[in-house]
Amino acid sequence: MSTQMDIHAILESLPHRYPFLLVDRVLSLEPGKRIVALKNVTINEPFFPGHYPHHPVMPGVLIIEAMAQAAALLSFQTLERKPDEKSVYYFAGIDGARFKRPVTPGDQLIIKVELTRSMRGVYKFKAVVEVDEQLVAEAELMCTVKTVA
């Protein structure tokens, strides 16, 4: 079964908030398998005035963060839980990150993340980001949910 999520459901399922929330909608989600999400990139993004004023480009680290947020949504839906004040979703590793072309205002990121492995609370994902069906970035991510005091 494939699920969609609007921004209200995303806000209930991720602890991130403006200006760091980088997923606008979930187009499909199959718990334990994969997610397809989107991020609309506008000139109003807070990072564009400094990166770069003469040719605005979305920082690659934020593209990776968008992948991780989509992975977190997939993880929380797979675990059938929501984040709370006692849990934090952390990166455990990033491998094979590659950037194929710049992301600029007006682009719509399509973020595709597949869960490839889950063992003892550590999740491994293969993630790709596309704009207009062209590969923009790819990476393998490892993440975990930790309980904090």
Residue pLDDT, tens place only, 80-93: 888 787 888 888 99
Cis peptide bond upstream of 123, omega within 30: no
We report the CATH number of the domain holding residue 143 as 3.10.129.10
Known active-site residue 54: no
How many whole angstroms separate alpha carbon 114 and alpha carbon 36? 9
Catalytic hit among 8, 51, 54, 55:
51
pLDDT digits (tens, 9 = 90+) for 109-139: 999 999 999 998 899 999 999 999 999 999 9
pTM (predicted TM-score)? 0.95
- Alpha carbon distance 21, 39 (integer Å): 9
Strand partners, 40: 108
Angle in degrees, CA 57, 61, 65, rounded to 5: 115
Domain count, the chain: 1
Domain range for residue 70?
3-147
